[in-house]
Every structure is written in C-alpha cells, then in structure tokens.
Amino acid sequence: MTIKNLKTITVSYLLIPNLIFILTWLNPIWATVGFVVSVYSFYSFIISTNAVSEDFSALRVKRIELSTILYLALFTLVLGVVFSLGNFGLGQSYDYYKHNTIVKELIEKPFPVVYENETRYGILNEPAILGYYMAYYLPTAIICKFIGFGASNILLYIWGAIGIFISFCWLYFLSPKNLNIILVFILFLLGATLFKPYLYAHYLLKNIVSLPMIQYFIWPSGISFNLINIHYSPQHHIVTTIGVFFVYYESFIRKDNRFVLFFVSLLLMWSFLGAFSVGVIAGFMVLYRKFNSFFSVANLAGGTIISFIMASYFLAHFQDNRFSGFIWTFADISGYLYQKPFISILALVGYCVFEVGIYIFFMFKLFSSKNTYNDKLVLLGFCAAYFVISPLYRIGFNNDLAMRLISTIKILIFVLLMFSYSEMLKSQISTKILRLYMAFTIILGIFSSMTTLKWEKVPSIAQSPTINKADIPQEIFLQYFAKKNSFFGNYMMKQTSEK
C-alpha cells in the first residue's frame, strides 16, 4: 500500500456514508446537487492524487508491505473483538445502547426517519426527525434494509474496523523510521500526551475533599485517548485520527490545500464536533500556508455544498426544548469562572501543565534550537494555544465540545512528539527524562483503562428497543432528534411521514 493508495481509501471511506445520506434523505434537487459536487470533487481528488509527488522524507516507508498490512489488520480485528464493535466478545460500552438503537431505527424506518408523535419528557411537541451524526451507522443500515437484521452486528463491526485500520495505516506511515513501531502504537493507544491527575482527584481524594473545578477541567480528557475512544465511540476515533493525520500530511507537510475543505466537510456526518475541531486545525494550516492552492473549484464546490447540507441538518437539532443549533449551549461560561475565578485559573493552568506541558517543554527546546524547525515551532505554538483555550468551553456547563477539541489536538501533539523524539535520538540529545515520562504516561494509561473501560451486556441491534419505546435517560434521549419544521426539514429533506 502506498500513501497514494491510503489517501484514496481514506477519502472513499469517509465519502460513502455521505453519499448514502445525500441520496436517501434529501429531496431530488438537493440530492442531485449534493451527489454531483461530491462525485466531481472526489474524481478531481483521485486525478490530483495520482498526478502529484509525495513527500517521502516525512514517511516511515514508501510502501507498507503486505505482511505489515496483515499484522495491522489482525491487530485491528483483535481490538474489534475485545471492544465488541459487533456485540460479541467481552461486551460493549454503554454508548452502544445508543449506537445499536440508532442502527435499528435506520433499518426499520424509511429514510428520512421521521417521528410525528413523540412527546416523552415533554420535549418533542412537534414533528421531529432523527438528528444525529450517522456515518458510522448508515452503511450497515442501508445493507440490512435488503438482507434483514441477521448481519447487522457483523457489518457494524467490519465498518468500524475498517476505519480503525485506516487510522493505524496513517500512524504507521507518519511514524519516524528510527522509532520502534510497537512503542509508537502503545503510546498512541494509551495516551502519550495524557497525564491523569483527575483520576487521583476523583478516585483517591473523593472522600477527603470536593474538587468540582478540577473535574470540570480534567474530565474532558477522561475518555479522549484512543483506546477508550475505540471502546466507546469508534466514529470519534476515526475522525480525530484520520482527520488530523490527513490534514497534517497534506496541508502542513506537502503544503497542498486543494482538497482540505472538501475533506473536512466529509467528516461532519461522522462527528460534527470532531469535524469542527479538525476544521480549526485545518484552518490554521491553510492560513499559515497563505491559502496555497486552496481556491480550487473542486475544493470550494464540494466542501461548501456538503458543509451547507450537513450544517443545515445539525442546526435543526433539539436541545432542552429550544432551537439552539449545533453549538447547543457550549458558549455558556457563566458557572465557576465568575464564582471562583482564582480556583478556575489554577485548575486551568494545572490542567494544561500536567496534560501536555512536559512534552511541550521538550519539543520547544528542540524546535527553538535550529531554524530548520521553524515550521514545527509555529505549529507547536498553535497547539499550546489551542490546548489552553479548549477547556474554556467546559466552564459552567457539562458538554462534549471540550472533549472533542482536546482529543483532536492531542493527536497533533502526538505527531510532533514522535518527530521530536526521533530528532533527539538522531542528534544524540539525552532522552532519559522524556523516556521516563513516556513510561509514566503508559502506566497512567493502563490505570485509566482499568478505571474507565466498562464492558456491558448491551442488546444486539435486532433486540434493541426503538427510540420512541425505549427507557432511555433524558440526556441520551435528547441527542436523537432534530426539528422537522426547520430549514432542512422544509426545504432540503425528502418529504415523508412516520410509518
């Protein structure tokens, strides 16, 4: 497998569920527009990818050999069984109550999925549609509409495993040649940039002192590293890893922005918040590269139209019985910030120092030592600023945005860390302290796994309750729905009613 092959496979994988959604949920006009620009942009991407040269100096190998592909595939399949992507093995995480129920709704109901009479919790007092990022579910659902529920669990397992395998291939390509690949994968899966002070606060000090502010800032990292992301939310792992790896290689290393907007738009149906955070990184890189090759027709047409379709869909989302859009209540910073500003500042500084400060210190020393590292130094500064700002979204309200922002920037910090470690080894700079800290983070990652990973006996897709009959907690229930009486529902969606 060459890097060209991997880029083509990556974009194809991300595109497929977008096309399913466009062709089955939108009215004929929007379906035609969305399909045409998607295919045109994808075709342009393939032609461009085959024509351009790659930067092999930034890659571990020019080609991943078949034996390595088989090892990566086997490792992915084993992880898939351990974390029961298809509901076999040790059991599934709590999130699969939601995953499996959504797949069942998509299989049983015609597209688009409409709810005319759902009034539970007093929330939906008007017609609604299924409003959720569905890329992880749609391929399984569309196939099972024709063949039934029998293969649904194995299909979901295969589809999730393909995405995880693609992320591992990107990790292999971008790992420096002089690093042990097993060490790279262990650090990647167990955190690497993950210090876990919140565990001590929560598990060791919970009966001694109340630390709500620490939990407010630290919790977003609690389920953000890759091993846990695979267990709970494979779609978020796919978006954060593939998204950052692709954007880093194309925009930062190759300085090629011809398809970055189109690429980021394909992430929206996978994870809107994950796509948002990858988009912030991509936006910085485009600005830093002074919009080099950004204004291509395929990039602007595909990226703009798909983003508009998906933004319209997510803007219709219900939350707390009010129309508040895809940002929901993420801008609420009223809570502890103003009530306890001193504690807030200490928590924020401590969080950032313990989380990635040690690694950023080592990277800064290296990148500031030579002019040839200037690009990396600028990118490191962006990462540090991003990491400091991200927790502010967490203040005063319990939400997922900080978690998605932080898990995404950690992937980029990880890429820079591996590069730094490699360069330190080449230059014979002492890495003793850095290696000790890496070992420390691995131990903490194992401890985190023991306290966070939870296997449950979740009903299979066929046995899952339907949304309008399930005994689902309100906070989960509210995630499912979007307004039918919205711009998307009235002007873009194919008209249908609940059956």
Contacts of 51 (CB under 8 A, 6+ apart): none
CA distance 393 to 404: 11
The residues facing 318 across adjacent strands are 323
Question: If you average pLDDT over residues 485-492, what whole number do you get?
Answer: 91
Segment 223-251, tens digit of pLDDT: 456 777 788 888 888 888 999 999 999 99
Among the residue ranges 58-62, 169-173, 329-333, 376-380, the one predicted with the least confidence is: 329-333
Mean pLDDT, residues 306-317? 91
Query: Which of 26-30, 124-128, 366-370, 379-383 is least confident?
Result: 124-128
**pLDDT number for residue 333:** 38
What mean pLDDT do residues 431-454 have? 77
Mean pLDDT, range 13-39, rounded to an integer: 97
Task: Tell me the CB-side half-sphere exposure of residue 57, using CA atoms within 13 A.
Answer: 2
User: Rounded CA gap, 381 and 1, in Å?
Assistant: 34
Could you tell me if 282 and 247 are in contact, meaning their C-beta atoms sit under 8 angstroms apart? yes
pLDDT at 421: 92
DSSP readout, 106-170? HHHSPSSPEESS--GGGT--S-EEE-S--TTTHHHHHHHHHH-GGGHHHHHHHHHHHHHHHHHHH
Q: Provide mean pLDDT across the span 194-214.
A: 46
**At 51, phi and psi to the nearest 5?**
-90, -30
Look at residue 36 in the predicted model and tell me its pLDDT: 97
Q: Is the pLDDT of residue 134 over 80?
A: yes
Rounded to an integer, the average pLDDT of 16-25 is 97
What is the pLDDT averaged over residues 442-460?
Answer: 76
Cβ burial, residue 389 (10 Å; 0-12/13-18/19+): middle
Give the Cβ contact number of residue 51 at 10 Å. Answer: 8
pLDDT score of 205 more than 60: no
Mean of the per-residue pLDDT values of the chain? 81
pTM of the predicted protein model: 0.88
High-pLDDT (> 90) share of the chain, % = 45
- Under the banding of pLDDT at 50, 70 and 90, the label for residue 308 is very high
Where is 482: in which H helix or E strand?
Answer: strand 481-483
The confidence score (pLDDT) of residue 204 equals 47
Out of 107-121, 185-199, 362-376, pick the least confident: 185-199
Give residue 403's pLDDT: 62
Confidence of residue 176 (pLDDT cuts 50, 70, 90): very high
- Confirm if 413 and 376 have CB atoms less than 8 A apart: no
pLDDT in tens, 329-384: 333 333 444 455 555 555 556 666 666 778 888 899 999 999 999 999 999 999 88
Q: Are 444 and 199 in contact (CB under 8 A)?
A: yes
| pLDDT score of 198 | 46
pLDDT of residue 349: 61
Q: Of 370-379, 451-460, 473-482, which one has max mean pLDDT?
A: 370-379
- Distance separating alpha carbons of residues 308 and 201, to the nearest angstrom: 43
What's the one-letter identity of residue 125? N
Q: Where are the alpha helices (DSSP H) in 219-340?
A: 226-232, 234-247, 260-267, 272-288, 297-315, 335-339
Q: What is the mean predicted confidence (pLDDT) over 403-410?
A: 73
- Which pLDDT belongs to residue 409? 82
Is the predicted pLDDT of residue 321 greater than 50, yes or no? no
Beta carbons of 20 and 138 less than 8 angstroms apart: yes
pLDDT at 283 over 80: yes
